[in-house]
Structure 1
Amino acid sequence: MASSSTFPQSSPPVDVAASPPPPPSVAMAYQGKEWHKDMAFYRAALTGEWDAARQFLDQDGDRGVHARLGYYSETPLHVAVAAGNSESFVYNLLDFIPDDSSLALTDSSGNNPLHVAAAAGNYEAAVILVTRCPNLVHLSNHDNRFPHHFAAEYGHRKILQLLISNTNDKHHTNPFAGEGGVWLLLSMIESDFFDMALDLVGKYPDLECMKPKSVGRVLSKIAVKATAFDGDDHLGFWKRFIYWCVLKMDVKSQSFDVENQTSLGKAFNVARTCPQTALNSLSSYQILRFHEKKLMREQIVELVKSLCKHMESLDYNDAAAICAETMLTAAESGSHDVVLEIVETFPLAVHFRNSLDQNFLHLAIKNRCENVFNLMYMTSMCRYQYANAIDNDGNSILHLAARLAPFHKLNLVSGAALQMQREIQWFQEASKFVSSYTRGLQNYSGETAEMIFTEEHRELKIDGETWMKDTANSCSIAAALIVTVVFAAAITVPGGNQSDSGYPILYESSAFTIFAVSDAVSLFTSSTSLLMFLSILTSRYAEHDFLYALPKRLSIGLVTLFLSILFMMIAFSSTLYLVFGRKKAWVLLPVGALTCLPISSFVLSQFPLLRDVISSTYGRGVFGKRSNRTRTFP
């Protein structure tokens, strides 16, 4: 009787032909040979086992040095350098290489061993190779990429400095000429080597990287990268005070030679390495990191100034094209330093539009770049020309402010309710700069800004309501428990009451006075907190309630809840002192220490929320901050 098999189906056979074959050079090198011996040599070069590698070299001589061992036709030197083996292994291997021409052997991509050292970050090997054969720095691969490009692309600063210092810019092949110079400059910027990029621009003003098209590419890259260094690290007051008092350094515009470091390069290294005792005890790492970012910001500004200086020699069309691309990219990414420099060089850049007919202000609002938007507070009389402009869809800046912010910007604000508050603040701030006619203008879809705001923020409003109610529910439970506890403590005072008069027995003690006052304050504050959270639960949750009313109630509720916990712990500690203070004083020490536990846990869990609520509701906010650079914006 036929039955279905219970055995699993066999997997289909593996198609060996579908696997990528080894490179032809490797296949030819291994053909007809004992390939397992070459694999043993490859393993020895990979792991740095010199004794095993030497046996192979002693047996095969020149063939061992020139053997193609890797998948991409790498020589033993390629493999050893890429694996980061010790200096002694590389030195010993070089002793078997008779002439410098063998050092320049390349893999299937045209990379010589110095390319590999630059990519792998093997500084010791790079020093050895450059010392033995300086001409390696002038050899490019099949893509016309030099070792310098690999070092810059992979972020190996020391190796890049080594290569540049050993490069002859008069050589007929060098990494600074042609498209390679642009590539190198872009890689430096991508790896945050702004001082080296500034040196490159200053040393070689006539190279390809300073041509009109290339300047636009470089400035656009800077505009995107500069955002990471725009502004501070939100340090506390005391850290900021230490920074300005101890680590403030004068960074001036000058040439930064990577071979002979100038004052900015030295300042940058000091910021990395200064081990001051006072700073070590005051979170010096964060302060030094903040200082490094400030230095990089200064370098970015100097680099942009240098590139803008070159634009003065261009004709109008080339300069306008460069400024338009850079201005719009900087506005979209939020780099207000780059925007200021472009406007300083080319004031008409504020009127440039993109393919959607949007100017820099449209892009700044759409992408919620407050640093660029705040330049409006520095504008002169003509700001109405671009503040009231509309794009191809009939949208004004108010229509774009009514759109939901990008998610990566929303996530910078904690909680859906505070995100809704920030969106309302953006909408109200944008409405200050448009005319009354533009404020009620419909776009080509027949939508006003208010209609768009309501529709776009419908889900965020619901999420904000849920978040606010959940927070109020959780905190109201804690407040209700505190009310119950402190009210009961007020009735049943420690030590009891006198039978004849009803006065507390311990009322003459100062500790009892502290208990009574603390218990009363805790009762009043917890009751206030409970009422605030109940008012949040019963709110109507209109859009504009998220701007001030709801955050105000939440901040009052959190502050009074914290105070109620604090005074409840004081009252509890006073009670313990009254009971155990005379005969068992040792009990007070561990109990007093544990008293700090609920207070500290509340501070750690709820203080960040309280700080954000108070800052966004009563603080300066993100709008209206003028640039610290005294300059008039058109």
Structure 2
Amino acid sequence: MEDMSTTSRVLAPSGDPSAISMRQQPPPPIYITYGPSPTPPPLPPLSSSELFIRAPPPLSHPCEDLLSGREDYINTCVPLYQASFNGDWEAAKIILNKRLELVRYSITHNFDTALHIATAAQHTKFVEALVELMEAKDLELQNIHGNTALCFAASAGNMEMIKIMVSKNRRLLTIPGAQGMMPLYMAALVGNHDSVNYLYDDSDKMTGDFWVHRNRVWVLIKCIEADLFDIALKIVVDRPEVVPNVGVLLALAQKRHAFDDMKPNVFQGIVKSIDVKLGVTEARREAMKLVRLILKNIMRMRKKFVDELLRGPHDTMMKNGKAVPDMKDGKRMYSSRILFVAVEMGNTNFVIELISQYPELIWELNDNNQSIFHVAVSHRQERIYNLLYDIGSMKDMITRLEDPEGNNMLHLVGKKAEKNQLQNVSGVAFQMQRELLWFKVNMFLLASVLGCLPYFFLEFLFSFRC
């Protein structure tokens, strides 16, 4: 029997919408209930061009006979629940030796079986012993939310329990749970590399009755968000059709830390060609491979489709209870442009790779008539702003661009940083020091670009300590 001292609350906040709130003491013996199910995380938005997801299969619920009779409920459900919850296999075995069919019965009003309860409570030895008594079909039973016990194991990232169940019944891999989420997707939500890798390899490249384009894309996005780049790379190689998706590109654009160790050595000749050499560390190699493969696959598509993909979805606003396009001066607003999201995040190497595939993006302007360099200045992203040096004579036109408020890059340099841009700098004095250093460096950069400040002024500017 396993020790219960470490199991006070077992839930999968980002994986299982029916996550179970557990207490140290079992619930009162009359009613076995759960708290309200937390709202599951929103699933990635998908374009209208993506394939229709087929209807889920009818739920396979366990037998409910024990729930209707009070005597059976009190004398059988409650003791079996307590044994499963506490991982007390000896107590459970006494009950099951008398009535083995109870492995197929609901023992809670959420239609959970003993296997659901033991899995949620993370009692691996109990689960192993219980599965040995069960037929393969019994493992397919679903609770009121549609989750099999494997969904619980996947949500917890518990490799041992996953292997125990899958070795008994491989069909579990293709049975969707709540909201049509597959066990692999639930494991990706938790971000446990070993369990995701195991489930993906055993999924036959995400094939089966209920694997469709939509939930394959979900898995890819979650792998990127969880930094499981080697698995994401396998998915892109095995399933290249999942690549052209706004959610995939947005996930990559926001992963600045995944590329932080890669320093750009060359960034020049951007209109004709770009030769970027990246000092790639072993830890980040898969991330860079993934970005390049995805962008190359997208580049082969029709230009109109690529433009729409990189532009991202249009903004919406609520009007009379309905979502309608957000308009400005008669034009739709697009605040999720892939390039500008990456710039705001300071994802320099993603920006370089994107522009190397699509050089015309260097001229791209956002809804405020700002280039990527204006946005980099506004968000204090020095590394991206410094690329201005390497684009040749084009910098003269870019630096003189003004937004609708009449601000050029020089004006933006002097603007106060937003609070969230200084959140990682502790103390007012250090924040002021960073702001002063930012201003000096950028005055120097802009002076070099524009040739607008004499040398003696620059010398005066840098005579102050910061």
Q: Is the 8 A contact 2:67 2:109 kept in 1?
A: no
**Residues 62, 105 of structure 2: 8 Å contact kept:** no
Distance 1:385 1:300, change over 3 A: farther
Larger radius of gyration: 1
Cα 1:356–1:69 shift into 2, 3 Å: farther
1:307 Cα deviation from its structure 2 partner: 0.8
Q: Offset at 1:96?
A: 2.8
Q: Residue 110 of structure 2 aligns to a residue in which SS?
A: coil
Is the Cα–Cα contact under 8 Å of residues 365 and 372 in structure 2 kept in the other structure?
Answer: yes
Letter in 2 for 1:140: P
Against the structure 1 CA distance between its residues 79 and 21, is the aligned structure 2 distance closer, same or farther, given a 3 Å change threshold?
Answer: closer
Aligned residue identity for 1:56: I
Q: Take 1:546 and 1:93, find their aligned partners in 2: how far apart are those partners? A: 75
Structure 2 equivalent of residue 334 of structure 1: 346
Find the counterpart in structure 1 of residue 68 from structure 2: 31
How far did 1:26 drift? 11
Structure 1's unaligned 5+ residue stretches are 1-18, 234-251, 254-290, 441-543, 552-616, 618-634
Residue of structure 1 aligned with 2:95, choices 38, 56, 75: 56
- 2:224 counterpart of 1:224: no
DSSP-derived class of the 2:402 partner: coil
Q: Hey, what's the Cα distance between the residues in 2 that align with 1:189 and 1:337?
A: 16
Give me the TM-score of the superposition, normalised by structure 2: 0.70
Output the CA distance in 2 between the equivalents of 1:51 and 1:315.
64
Count of residues in Structure 1 that have an aligned counterpart in Structure 2: 365
The 1:545–1:116 alpha-carbon spacing in structure 2 relative to 1, beyond 3 Å, is: farther
Distance 1:65 1:364, change over 3 A: same
Q: Deviations over 1:233-267 (max 9, x none)?
A: 9xxxxxxxxxxxxxxxxxx99xxxxxxxxxxxxxx
Counterparts of 1:512-531 in structure 2 under 5 Å?
none
- The one-letter amino acid of 1:40's match is P
Q: Which residue identity lines up with residue 371 of structure 1 in the other structure? A: R
User: In the alignment, does 2:125 pair up with 1:138?
Assistant: no
Deviation at 1:394, TM superposition (A): 2.0
1:364 and 2:389 correspond: no
Match of 1:320 in 2: 307
Partners of 1:328 and 1:133 in 2: CA distance: 46
How far apart, in 2, do the equivalents of 1:194 and 1:319 lie?
A: 23
Structure with the greater relative contact order (CA < 8 A, sep ≥ 6): 1 or 2?
A: 2
2:121 to 76, 83, 107: 83
The aligned residue for residue 281 of structure 1 is none
The match for 1:416 is 428
Task: Determine the C-alpha separation between the residues in 2 that align with 1:21 and 1:316.
Answer: 51
Q: Does 1:66 align with 2:104?
A: yes
Partner in structure 2 of residue 473 of structure 1: none
Q: In structure 1, the residue corresponding to 2:255 is in which secondary structure? A: helix
2:143 matches 1:107: yes
Q: How far 1:343 moved relative to its partner?
A: 0.5
- Do the aligned partners of 1:26 and 1:72 also contact (CA within 8 Å) in 2? no
Take 1:203 and 1:20, find their aligned partners in 2: how far apart are those partners?
40
- Could you tell me which amino acid in structure 2 is paired with residue 201 of structure 1? V
Asked if structure 2 preserves the Cα contact closer than 8 Å seen for 1:117 and 1:125, the reply is yes
Aligned mate of 1:299, from 278, 286, 295: 286
Call closer, same or farther: CA 1:113–1:21 in 2, change over 3 Å: closer
Q: Which amino acid aligns with 2:368?
A: L
After superposition, the CA RMSD in angstroms is 3.5
Q: 2 CA distance for matches of 1:344 and 1:83?
A: 50
Deviates more, 1:37-46 or 1:399-408: 399-408
Aligned pair partner of 1:147 in 173, 183, 188? 183
Instruction: Name the SS of the counterpart of 1:143 in structure 2.
Output: helix
The match for 1:187 among 222, 227, 236 is 222
Paired position in structure 2 for 1:94: 131
Give the whole-Å Cα distance in 2 for the aligned partners of 1:132 and 1:28: 26
Q: Which residue of 2 aligns with 1:526?
A: none
Return the structure number with greater helix share: 1
Specify whether residues 72 and 404 from structure 1 end up closer, same or farther in structure 2 by C-alpha distance, changes over 3 A only.
farther
Unaligned runs of 5+ in 2: 1-32, 38-60, 264-276, 312-336, 453-458
What do residues 554-610 of structure 1 show as CA deviations (whole Å, max 9, x unaligned)?
A: xxxxxxxxxxxxxxxxxxxxxxxxxxxxxxxxxxxxxxxxxxxxxxxxxxxxxxxxx
Mapping 1:165-564, distance limit 5 Å: 165-169=201-205, 171-173=207-209, 175=211, 177-206=212-241, 209-211=242-244, 214=245, 216-227=246-257, 229-231=259-261, 294-324=281-311, 325-413=337-425, 415-431=427-443, 548-549=463-464, 551=465
Report the TM-score when normalising by structure 1. Answer: 0.52
Change (3 A) 1:415 1:32: closer
Aligned to 1:393, what secondary structure does the other structure show? coil
- 1:5 aligned residue: none
3-state DSSP class of the match of 1:420? Answer: helix
2:259 touches 2:349 (CA, 8 Å); kept in 1? no
- 1: CA distance, partners of 2:377 / 2:98: 71
User: Secondary structure, in 3 states, of the residue corresponding to 2:231?
Assistant: helix
Q: Secondary structure at the match of 2:432?
A: helix
- Displacement of 1:420: 2.6
Tell me how far apart the structure 2 counterparts of residues 437 and 129 of structure 1 sit (CA, whole Å): 64
Deviation digits for residues 274-308 of structure 1, max 9, x if unmatched?
A: xxxxxxxxxxxxxxxxx9x9434332221110111
Q: Give the drift of 1:25.
A: 9.6
Contact 1:111 1:141 in 2 (8 A): yes
- Decide whether the 8 Å contact of 1:220 with 1:329 is kept in 2: yes
2:67–2:108 contact (8 Å) kept in structure 1: no
Letter in 2 for 1:146: M
Structure 1 residue aligned with 2:42: none
Q: Give the structure 1 partner of residue 328 of structure 2.
A: none
